[in-house]
């Protein structure tokens, strides 16, 4: 199996690239942001609890997202692998993911960290806000909150994956296809265990 993790700040292009990578390598794409938005759209209890946090740019609890990931991994046995997008976002989530994968004799093969500067991130998010309808993309203060949460809670995970020897950083600025090619090169360089 090939298990990839796409890492980066809000607006780095994780969702766009994760879909393309999933298609090319035949992986299951798991985005906690998408899963949570589906709960919100479905009007579930979980969705109702998550919505106010998401709209403010605050993280949903680790238990909730880890539970969603557990269900996704368990319901997709005998697959080529997973690409995780927007998860993990905290150290407890990263540890929980390692444990969940270990139960299936799996681990993260590569963490691809997209690097984009703050100014470009804000430009992209405000552009996306015009078409996505996402409340968290439409307000500058919410963007700043998400950046702050990213910097304090999520960015430190780079060291966690660096210590595991699986971290690769990629310049996320440029044409979508160029960034995609850089990501693919790194995945293939790793030996692409998918057959
Ligand atoms: P972006 O890619 O712009 O960071 P996402 O769609 O991944 O946005 O996430 C939107 C919101 O959903 C986050 O701000 C957070 O409130 C919630 N969320 C998504 N993934 C997680 C997670 N792994 N842990 C906690 N909250 C999450």
**What count of Cα atoms within 13 Å lies in the side-chain half-sphere of residue 181?**
5
What tokens were used for 180? 């995609």
Which residue in 64, 39, 34, 7 sits closest to 186, CA to CA? 7
Ligand 1 centre distance from Cα of residue 110 (Å): 21
pTM of the model: 0.94
What is the SS3 assignment for 72? helix
Predicted local confidence at residue 190, as pLDDT: 84
Structural domain that includes position 159: 2-184
Is the peptide bond preceding residue 24 cis, with omega within 30 degrees of 0? no
Q: Is 142 in the pocket of ligand 1 (CB under 6 A)?
A: no
Which residue in 56, 60, 52 sits closest to 32, CA to CA? 60
Instruction: Say whether 37 is catalytic.
Output: no
Predicted local confidence at residue 195, as pLDDT: 47
Name the helix (H) or strand (E) containing 139. none
Kindly report, residue by residue over 11-23, the tens digit of the pLDDT.
999 999 999 999 9
Predicted local confidence at residue 78, as pLDDT: 85
47 within some domain: yes
Please report where in the chains the tokens 């209890």 appear, as a residue.
45
28 within some domain: yes
Ligand 1 centre distance from Cα of residue 35 (Å): 10
By most ligand atoms within 8 Å of CB, the mutation choice from 5, 56, 86 for ligand 1 is: 86
Predicted local confidence at residue 192, as pLDDT: 56
Which residue in 72, 77, 82 sits closest to 3, CA to CA? 82
136 within some domain: yes
Please check whether residue 28 is in contact with residue 81, taking contact to mean a CB–CB distance below 8 angstroms. Answer: yes
Residue-level length of the chain: 195
Domains held by the chain: number: 1
Which residue in 168, 100, 116 sits closest to 11, CA to CA? 116
- C-alpha 115/C-alpha 171 separation (Å) is 5
194 within some domain: no
49 class by beta-carbon count within 10 Å (0-12 exposed, 13-18 middle, 19+ buried)? middle
Q: Which of 134, 145, 158, 162 is catalytic?
A: 134
Q: What angle do CA 94, 137, 182 make, to 5 degrees?
A: 55
Closest ligand 1 atom to the C-alpha of 32? Answer: 20
Kindly report, residue by residue over 152-192, the tens digit of the pLDDT.
999 999 999 999 999 999 999 999 999 999 999 999 998 75
Q: The CATH number of the domain where 167 resides is what?
A: 3.40.50.300
189 within some domain: no
The pLDDT of residue 94 is above 90: yes
190 within some domain: no
Residues sharing a CB contact under 8 Å with residue 146, sequence separation 6 or more, in sequence order: 9, 10, 57, 136
Which residue in 37, 83, 85 sits closest to 60, CA to CA? 37
50 within some domain: yes
Q: Is 20 in the pocket of ligand 1 (CB under 6 A)?
A: no
109 within some domain: yes
């Amino acid at each position: 199996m090939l298990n990839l993790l796409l890492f980066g700040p809000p607006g780095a292009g994780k969702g766009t690239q994760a879909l393309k990578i999933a298609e090319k390598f035949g992986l299951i794409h798991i985005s906690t942001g998408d899963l949570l938005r589906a709960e919100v759209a479905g009007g579930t209890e979980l969705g109702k609890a998550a919505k106010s946090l998401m709209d403010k740019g605050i993280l949903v609890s680790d238990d909730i997202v880890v539970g969603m990931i557990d269900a996704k991994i368990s319901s997709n046995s005998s697959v080529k692998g997973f690409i995780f997008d927007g998860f993990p976002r905290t150290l407890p989530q990263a540890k929980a993911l390692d444990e969940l994968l270990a139960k299936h004799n799996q681990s993260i093969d590569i963490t691809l960290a997209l690097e984009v500067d703050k100014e470009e991130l804000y430009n992209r998010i405000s552009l996306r806000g015009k078409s996505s309808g996402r409340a968290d993309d439409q307000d500058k203060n919410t963007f700043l909150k998400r950046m702050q949460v990213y910097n304090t809670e999520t960015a430190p995970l780079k060291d966690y994956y660096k210590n595991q020897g699986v971290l690769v950083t990629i310049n996320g600025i440029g044409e979508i296809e160029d960034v995609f090619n850089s990501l693919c090169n790194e995945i293939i360089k790793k030996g692409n265990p998918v057959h």
